[in-house]
Amino acid sequence: MNIPLLGISVWFVIKIFVLIAMLLYIAFALVIVRQVQLMTKTLRVGFEFPLRTLSLLHLISAAVLFALALIIL
């Protein structure tokens, strides 16, 4: 299905929007990592390591999913 007068596929446009949204989600994951880093510096309660690990795993999984989307889409 093409957009009239432009010859651009609608699915191509949707794929581009999905990739842009995933890049924004990676930026959000980076903000989470930074916020956890600042929080663990401010509050010392004993479970800093699990929080940092979870935030880094979240960032890594977002990056891996973006890479997979680049390959698949």
pLDDT at 1: 67
pLDDT at 8: 80
**Contact call for residues 59 and 26 (beta carbons, < 8 A):** yes
Per-residue pLDDT of the chain in tens (73 residues, 90 and over written 9): 666 667 788 888 899 999 999 999 999 999 999 999 999 999 888 889 999 999 999 999 999 999 999 999 8
Which tokens hold the place of 21?
């949204």
pLDDT at 73: 85
Domain assignments of the chain as residue spans, ordered by start: 48-73
